[in-house]
Chain A
């Protein structure tokens, strides 16, 4: 018998470590391994049990109390994964995630046994840098970091930029709040990234790689560092790799220090150089003048993690997935108000409906779907009328949203779209580096307008003002942060204008989110006078005698919602 425990950050947060501790102490005769996140995060902690004949029994939401039973009887129904949940995996195209759930990310031999490092071997033996770039062109791989720029084109520019010393930089800053595709690679299959970087390095003739990892990912940094050390000890990184005289390649990690704008490539380079992460004008592009002024190619984690698969399986196999212009598969972090939140790797071209309602199982508590935010703070919010849209770069961009790095945050009827626009703008205002006036001041002004709308002090003319400012901010900003910051406003204005109008004209927030526009009211028909609400109210705004109907004093109420959350009789409603 063999046991594998999903132990990425999500699994660990759900309790995987306590399971591992028990397995190691009480069942030390059974081999226990850790493995990456298979993407079914809503079912964590997940334990895979392989019996003597190597049959897999996958158990989900396992608690320490379940362990005894499932080890004695791996077929035990109680925690065994359901067919419908298994199907979520079967409907995906697992390229970057092909090893998740199988290999131990901390063991290099597991990656080697799964065919790892064969692709780079093939490259150095049989392919020239130009051949590899041609493969990427046929594969049609586009950057997964946000902009969707063809990878071959960037590599070609870096190859043609002649210099003794060049760099390949991996962007693992994963700044979109609500996305964790890159984390899953770093924690679940770090050697795949190393191999991808080696191939990219070989293709552009760089001998050094740097991975810029965001500060909030300590486990990712730990696992990647171990993988780098192991690869170096094995002779895959360092000098004369594969015993080939003069073929040198090594990788080091730089930890970010918490600044969203450092995901932008020129800001990232400034940060690598020890500076404040301020973007600069392009050209010169990093391919000409990057880290320390030398030719540098920057790719996202997921982009690079696709590369070994393309070399192993062939570019045309990769290109057979997806659509005409968006090839291959893409990882999405499906979160928010979906029942089955997690990570999915789907062929490009699948529709939003399939992803949200079939893979994601629909909306939590069976509420009404309202919108899905794609592309994080740079992206936009799409309404239910767009659910049948195929997910490819062109279709999504046409709507005013972007595919971005792959964050997909689902919202239901209890989420307010004006509040969401304000939320994203607060984020961009916080994260603007301050270089450009429109980004620094324009975004602030838009935030003020949105704030007054959510407070019920908005005017109709504010909507025109917002739109005008939004366009100016887009035009007047140097980097992608400022250029895309107005997208959440523009898309919500376009698809959810009714909600803005309700806030402004009727002073109403139907979702019940904007505090200044809602009232908590006690329904006398339902109130039994249990007094619970009057006891939890922090400001003493609720009056009433035992067993008599209670009342909320509007003037005192601070809209904290405690009474609403506490009432056992559903007697309090929001108007």
Chain B
């Protein structure tokens, strides 16, 4: 988490605030369900903006520092928006042994971004994950909810190209 991201004060829409209220109202014990709340908010907004942390705190009386602590502890949560397609490349043991590092290099080079970054056209964000549970098809990646296995450097470029063409 880079502090640069946090400086940016992003405003979210009235509609989104209503959605957040709706999510908060689903739980009688927001503190005990903080993780579920944050998951629901992230799937609505695609990330957890800093203003939202303050807003949840204001509404639920959970300390802002605690919410921040939870958000930064779990790798699923992000405080910066992501591109349209989230690339999750597996760097688990089976994938590592089968050359996932090279696949990562190829993605970075092809899209000209580093891990955690988003392309200028906002089409892709590239992240690494620990295991997608498809280890026998290693190396594996997920883009959105689609899983791709038995990757090679050529195949990964092909897949990215196909998505680029669609747009």
Contacts and interface: CB of A to CB of B under 8 A. Distances in A.
A216 B93 contact: no
Nearest to B42: A257
Given A12-B147, A274-B34, A176 B131 contact: yes
Contact of B132 (A9, A41, A292, A565): A9
A560 B94 contact: no
Contacts, number: 141
A257 B76 contact: yes
Contacts of A177: 90-95, 130-131
B131 A276 contact: no
Interface string A229-251: 00000000000000000000000
Contacts of B140: 13
Contacts of A175: 130
Nearest to A183: B133
A216 B34 contact: no
Contacts of A216: 88, 129-133
B137 A10 contact: yes
B93 A409 contact: yes
B155 to A, nearest CB: 13
B149 A13 contact: yes
A174 interface: yes
Interface stretch (B14-22, B97-105, B112-120, B156-164): B97-105
Given A260-B130, A409-B94, A415-B97, A178 B39 contact: no
Specify which of A218, A276, A337 lies most central, judged by the most chain B CB atoms within 10 Å of its CB.
Answer: A276
A217 interface: yes
B86 to A, nearest CB: 12
A374 to B, nearest CB: 11
Interface residues of A, number: 60
Interface in A341-357: 341-343
B94 A335 contact: yes
B135 A335 contact: yes
A103 interface: no
Given A257-B74, A257-B77, A274 B35 contact: yes
A369 interface: no
Contacts of B153: 565
Given A216-B132, A275-B70, A342-B136, A423 B36 contact: no
B96 interface: yes
Looking at chain B, what size class is its interface with the partner chain? 35 or more
A41 B133 CA distance: 11
B138 to A, nearest CB: 6
B75 interface: yes
A410 B148 CA distance: 22
A196 interface: no
A308 interface: no
Contact of A218 (B94, B134, B145): B145
B136 A333 contact: yes
Contact of A42 (B73, B92, B97, B136): B136
Interface string A399-443: 000000001011100010000100110010000010000000000
B33 interface: yes
A180 interface: yes
A336 interface: yes
Chain B contact surface mostly: mixed
A411 B135 contact: no
B93 A178 contact: yes
Contacts of B148: 13
A427 B130 contact: yes
A459 interface: no
Contacts of A376: 93
A14 B76 contact: no
A341 B73 contact: no
Interface string A168-201: 0000001111111001000000000000000000
A271 interface: yes
A273 B35 CA distance: 9
B130 A215 contact: no
B98 to A, nearest CB: 7
Nearest to A271: B35
B34 to A, nearest CB: 4
Interface string B32-58: 111110110000000000000000000
A384 interface: no
A176 B94 CA distance: 10
Specify which of A13, A336, A423 lies most central, judged by the most chain B CB atoms within 10 Å of its CB.
Answer: A13
25 contacts: A10-B136, A12-B147, A13-B134, A177-B90, A177-B93, A178-B94, A180-B135, A216-B131, A216-B132, A216-B133, A255-B39, A257-B76, A258-B76, A259-B75, A260-B130, A274-B31, A274-B36, A277-B73, A335-B94, A336-B93, A341-B135, A376-B93, A409-B97, A538-B109, A565-B153
Given A254-B36, A342-B136, A410-B97, 13 more contacts: A9-B132, A13-B147, A41-B136, A44-B137, A176-B93, A177-B131, A258-B74, A275-B34, A333-B135, A409-B94, A423-B96, A560-B105, A565-B153
8 closest A-B pairs (Cβ-Cβ)?
A177-B92, A41-B136, A178-B93, A257-B74, A177-B131, A341-B136, A335-B94, A274-B34
